[in-house]
Amino acid sequence: MKHLILSLSLWILIGLLGCNSKSGHQSVKVPQKSATETLLTMDCLHCHSISDRLVGPPYLDISRRYHSEYGIKPKLMTKIKEGGGGLWYGGVMSGHPLIKDMELSLLVDWILSLEDRRDAFWDRYAQSTSMRQLDEVDSTILSWQSLHEGRPIQTGSAHSIHLLGSESFPSHDRKTTIQFTGQLPIPKTGKYFIRLIKTGKGQIKIGDKILLPLDPKNREAVIDLQKGSQPIAVTHQLTGKNDTLSLSWLPPGADFYELIQW
């Protein structure tokens, strides 16, 4: 009887050791990169942006051109992987053989979805920001002032920058500049796409860095931000026409732009 108990104990011990040995050799599953993570870790942004045209077309233009074309996904995947011309307004693109097939598939799906995401953005944010005029600026949210030829004429506060049409602005005079200042709330550390849709000239400064210059063609940039807050200043020179000014970002892990809220 003792011999039987000893034998069973040995077999149980061997079984436990075997289980531990197998678990010690299990492969660790690496989390799949999202489409935007792939963009940020590869060299995609050297030639493309989401909205702005760089060396190649913006991803929104690619989506607009191909999102409803049947069977286009494998063609785009092959073109990104191998490079070449014929799908990019006649330009020639270098190949990206290091992108994994699954990540490439997610990236192409995301690119093709951008036209619908853009429409959803404007549906979601159909209303302009309320520009409250105040004698004393509320320092806990975004402050603004309008200046006529450099002289302050109005002050106030807002919870976002999303002005659609000249009637949304406190002034329509072409000699007027509007400036927004405040502390940018940063929910997590990472790379952020920042976008300023603007009619004419507009500038973004975060901390000591001018992220977007006044140049009307520069509407989008990527910046590394640490969790916490950073001073932000947005300047816009009115054109006197049907002006638009909208500040949004694409935070780490998100799939498209959303308004920055205070």
Which residues line the annotated binding site? 44, 48, 93
CA–CA distance, 102 with 13 (Å, rounded to integer): 42
Residues making up the binding site for heme c: 44, 48, 93
Helices (H), the chain: 2-24, 35-41, 59-66, 72-82, 101-124
The structure tokens listed for 129 are 């920001």
Candidates 226, 232, 225; CA nearest to 196 is 232
Q: Is 43 exposed, middle or buried (0-12, 13-18, 19+ CB in 10 A)?
A: exposed
What's CA 203's distance to the chain center, in Å?
18
Cβ–Cβ under 8 Å, residues 257 and 195: yes
Listed in sequence order, the residues at least 6 apart from 197 whose beta carbon sits closer than 8 Å to its beta carbon are 219, 244, 245, 246, 248
